[in-house]
């Protein structure tokens, strides 16, 4: 079973990362066979020089864990080391 990490970030407490996480979860389910999906989300401005706590936890888990992929709505976070389901086409989030 592939293990997938999903990460979303929003800038303010008025925003909700759930929509991003739902889209990433759906993408992971459609791309990989029966994935175990781990979720990470931060509420922190994109202008901050320090990344959020969940981002840091994701980085540690990527380095230490049995990850298949990490999916994010932020382009600077993406790791893919296992083949996706064979569908004959490619897609991206």
Q: What is the pLDDT of residues 42-75, one digit of tens each?
A: 998 877 777 889 988 988 888 887 776 677 765 4
Where on the phi/psi map is residue 14: left (φ > 0), alpha (ψ -120 to 50), or beta? alpha
Half-sphere exposure of 44 (CA within 13 A, CB side): 16
User: Domains of the chain: which residue ranges?
Assistant: 3-78
pLDDT: which is higher, 79 or 44? 44
Alpha helices in the chain (DSSP H): 18-31, 53-64
Per-residue pLDDT, averaged over 24-38, amounts to 90
Helix, strand, or coil (residue 28): helix
pTM of the model: 0.71
Question: For residues 18 and 8, what is the distance between their CA atoms, to the nearest angstrom?
Answer: 8
| Summary mean pLDDT of the chain | 77
Structure tokens given for 17: 């990362």
């Amino acid at each position: 079973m592939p293990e997938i990490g999903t990460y979303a970030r929003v800038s303010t407490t008025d925003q909700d990362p759930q929509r991003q996480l739902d889209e990433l979860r759906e993408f992971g389910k459609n791309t990989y066979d029966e994935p175990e999906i781990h979720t990470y989300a931060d509420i922190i401005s994109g202008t901050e020089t320090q990344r959020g706590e969940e981002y840091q936890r994701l980085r540690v888990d990527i380095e230490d864990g049995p990850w298949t992929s990490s999916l994010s709505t932020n382009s600077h976070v993406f790791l893919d080391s296992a083949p996706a389901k064979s569908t004959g086409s490619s897609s991206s989030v």
